[in-house]
């Protein structure tokens, strides 16, 4: 192993709405130290940024890696970002606004810092180390409270001029459909997110169509998590299975439409819902996607579950930082 | 001007379903000679390829440019292509199969040849010389018999691993909607192409809702072209205007969905329909796209009509050939 004072170590950070994670990687992207903590966004941005730096420092101690040995840092963030300037313009989940994350972290850790969209970082992680290695084009779809998306194209994270893109949750799939969190109607997210599934499941439970879910998760939309849905299906709540399969089908049709645009060679499905029911999701998404994709697009396209779970984001963020520092040399 | 024997000239070729065009460009992409002819795909691929070479030679004569002076050739083609190997696997409109265009043209003209999707070539032309210059991401949408799409991202044509992509005509916009040419239901093309507009207009004419169209274009779907639609609207056929606006709205919503994926800074609308009614199309597409796009995506996005008309494809194909020969040096 390299001397821990040499500049060969990379920090990956995952800034989530509820929890955050810092991991120190060596030059081969082996994790040497990793720490998690609650984000506590509501304590304000200043306190939050201090907590981020503290968590990185703790991970450094665990890894035995000094500031001097850090080559760079990548941080996966939610919200609206200025990617080049590393500013978090707005993160509604955290209640933070206009945080110059890049500048603050570079000053604190004395190494280059790169701000990345959190879903993009996760998809880049799967592309470099997980389920989508060496794809020409890897599309990631992560159904959760919303539905996140990311795309790695020829070793680049596809992005807008300043902010990230690939908001697959907000393509319209059902004109005149249910209200979406963005204020529009019939977005993919509005008919296939975990939140919509939970709401549909709560209705089924209330109507008496899902006795197991009613006993286990009740009818509170906020309380019906992926695990409860999965257990209800296992226990025989057919209505819940139909609801989840229907949502997965919508995701699959949307993936098929996006495949007609981007011709991904691999589509990675991740997030809590998919982790709880990987077989069901991969099956339904694959079937619907292959139906909607043109034969020339469907031919080369694999659909798989993510492999790295929560670690995808830190690994992807760190690897993206390295790619940004060193350029496209690796390919 | 450079000596016409020096290698500083580029060929752009547009191989269309009904007509084809060869243009010789100098190093500043000024057209020096240009020839058009009917494609006559039904005379077979061998005769067709001979006609392509003959047309290029005629354009060379007009330009006074010998084979020795050609640096490269780009050819925009319909159908399913192998972009790297330059093979036209299948072009249903021409009835051609497995034509090794790259090899044949390189042998005949003694310069490197590049096969590009025709719509991609047109969008690249608009990006280099027309309505979308210097965009970070330019999305092109060309409604015609079908609806073609292309995307230039960071000076690259977005493509699949082997074939082209960006088939915006085949994203699903209306589940359970009308039958599409691809065999699916509710694709954008099935509710917004010129063919669908013509069919809807024919129904309106038949029902007596569009007297001017009935007098001018009749009720034959094949005979109702963009000009007849435009004239009927001018003359006061309100039903036709509503049909065309509705189609443009569908295109706009789809563009808004795609904007949420790719965050284009410019969207170029082209093709015969848009050329016949640029104001109507740009207006409706813009309004619907801005409604569907997230605010962060809509903020930086312009929607404009194409500028180069039919010349976009030859210019884009020639410029793409040069970019392929010389690499990314220009940016």
Residue A329 has pLDDT above 80, yes or no: no
B44 and A CB contact within 8 Å:
no
Q: What is the ipTM of this complex?
A: 0.91
B134 and A CB contact within 8 Å:
no
Q: How far apart are CA A303 and CA A210, in angstroms?
A: 30
Mean pLDDT across the stretch A188-197?
96
Residue intervals of chain A classified under CATH 3.30.420.40 are: 9-116, 131-305
Q: Check: CB of residue A165 under 8 Å from CB of residue B297.
A: yes
pLDDT confidence band for A286 (50 / 70 / 90)? very high
A161 and B CB contact within 8 Å:
yes
CATH of A131-305 given 2.60.40.10, 3.30.420.40, 3.50.50.60, 2.40.10.10: 3.30.420.40
**Smallest Cα–Cα separation from A137: which of A307, A286, A317, A260?**
A260
Q: How far apart are CA B306 and CA A285, in angstroms?
A: 37
Q: Check: CB of residue A300 under 8 Å from CB of residue A270.
A: no
Classified by CATH at the fold level, domain B133-305 comes out as Nucleotidyltransferase; domain 5 (3.30.420)
Q: Could you give the residue ranges of the DSSP H alpha helices within A65-193?
A: 101-109, 118-129, 188-192
Residue to substitute from B87, B150, B153, B257, interface A, most A β-carbons within 10 A: B257
How confident is the model at residue A331, as a pLDDT? Answer: 39
How confident is the model at residue B327, as a pLDDT? Answer: 83
A299 and B CB contact within 8 Å:
no
User: A-chain residues within 8 Å CB-CB of B263?
Assistant: 159-161, 163, 165
Q: For the beta carbon of residue B50, count every other beta carbon within 10 angstroms.
A: 14
**Smallest Cα–Cα separation from B83: which of B108, B117, B109, B52?**
B117
Strands A113-117 and A70-77: parallel
Q: How far apart are CA A297 and CA B182, in angstroms?
A: 13
Q: Check: CB of residue A303 under 8 Å from CB of residue A279.
A: no
Residue A131 has pLDDT above 50, yes or no: yes
A160 and B CB contact within 8 Å:
yes
How confident is the model at residue A323, as a pLDDT? Answer: 96
Which residues, other chains included, contact B329 with Cβ-Cβ below 8 Å and sequence gap of 6+? none
CA angle A135, B81, B66 (to 5 degrees): 120
Q: Check: CB of residue A314 under 8 Å from CB of residue A129.
A: no
Sheet strands side by side (includes B19-25): B31-38, B19-25, B9-15, B70-77, B113-117
Nearest to B160 among A167, A173, A297 (CB): A297
Q: How many CA atoms lie within 13 A of B116 on its CB side?
A: 35
pLDDT (tens digit, 9 = 90+) per residue, A171-191?
999 999 999 999 999 999 999
Contact A261 B137 (CB under 8 A): no
How confident is the model at residue A328, as a pLDDT? Answer: 64
**Smallest Cα–Cα separation from A127: which of A137, A141, A115, A113?**
A137
How distant is the Cα of B226 from the closest Cα of chain A, in angstroms? Answer: 26
Tell me the count of A-B CB pairs closer than 8 A: 119
Q: Check: CB of residue B122 under 8 Å from CB of residue B314.
A: no
How confident is the model at residue A52, as a pLDDT? Answer: 98
Strands B9-15 and B19-25: antiparallel
User: B-chain residues within 8 Å CB-CB of A151?
Assistant: 261
Nearest to A292 among B158, B172, B300 (CB): B172
What class does CATH assign to A9-116? alpha beta
How confident is the model at residue B331, as a pLDDT? Answer: 39
Q: How many CA atoms lie within 13 A of A249 on its CB side?
A: 9
pLDDT (tens digit, 9 = 90+) per residue, A85-121?
999 999 988 999 999 999 999 999 999 999 999 999 9
Classified by CATH at the fold level, domain B9-125+310-330 comes out as Nucleotidyltransferase; domain 5 (3.30.420)
pTM: 0.94
Q: Check: CB of residue B162 under 8 Å from CB of residue B145.
A: no
Contact A292 B173 (CB under 8 A): no
pLDDT (tens digit, 9 = 90+) per residue, A290-323?
999 999 999 989 999 999 999 999 999 999 999 9
Which parts of chain B have pLDDT scores under 50?
1, 330-331
Nearest to B296 among A163, A258, A260 (CB): A163
Residue intervals of chain B classified under CATH 3.30.420.40 are: 9-125+310-330, 133-305
Average pLDDT, chain A: 95
């Amino acid at each position: 192993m390299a001397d821990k004072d040499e500049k060969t170590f990379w920090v990956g950070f995952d800034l989530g709405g509820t929890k955050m994670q810092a991991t120190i990687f060596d030059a081969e992207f082996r994790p040497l130290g990793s720490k998690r903590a609650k984000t506590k966004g509501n304590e304000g941005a200043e306190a939050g940024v201090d907590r981020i730096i503290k968590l990185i420092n703790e991970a450094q101690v665990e890894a035995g890696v000094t500031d001097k040995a850090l080559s760079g840092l990548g941080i996966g963030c939610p919200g609206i970002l200025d990617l080049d300037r590393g500013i978090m313009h707005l993160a509604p989940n955290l209640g933070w606004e206009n945080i110059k994350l890049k500048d603050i972290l570079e000053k604190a850790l004395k190494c280059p810092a790169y701000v990345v969209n959190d879903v993009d970082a996760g998809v880049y992680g799967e592309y470099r180390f997980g389920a989508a290695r060496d794809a020409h084009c890897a599309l990631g779809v992560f159904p959760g409270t919303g539905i996140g998306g990311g795309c790695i194209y020829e070793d680049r994270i596809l992005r807008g001029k300043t902010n990230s893109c690939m908001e697959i949750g907000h393509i319209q799939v059902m004109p005149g459909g249910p209200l979406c969190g963005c204020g529009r109607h019939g977005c993919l997210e509005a008919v296939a997110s975990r939140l919509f599934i939970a709401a549909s499941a709560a209705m089924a439970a209330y109507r008496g169509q899902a006795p197991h879910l009613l006993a286990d998760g009740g009818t509170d939309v906020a309380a019906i998590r992926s695990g409860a849905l999965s257990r209800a299906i296992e226990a025989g709540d057919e209505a819940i299975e139909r609801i989840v399969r229907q949502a997965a089908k919508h995701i699959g049709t949307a993936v098929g439409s996006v495949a007609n645009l981007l011709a991904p060679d691999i589509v990675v499905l991740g997030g809590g819902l998919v982790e709880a029911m990987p077989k069901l999701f991969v099956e339904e998404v694959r079937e619907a996607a292959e139906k909607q994709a043109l034969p020339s697009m469907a031919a080369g396209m694999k659909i798989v579950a993510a492999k790295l779970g929560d670690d995808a984001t830190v690994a992807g963020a760190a690897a993206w930082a390295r790619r940004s520092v060193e350029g496209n040399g690796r390919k």
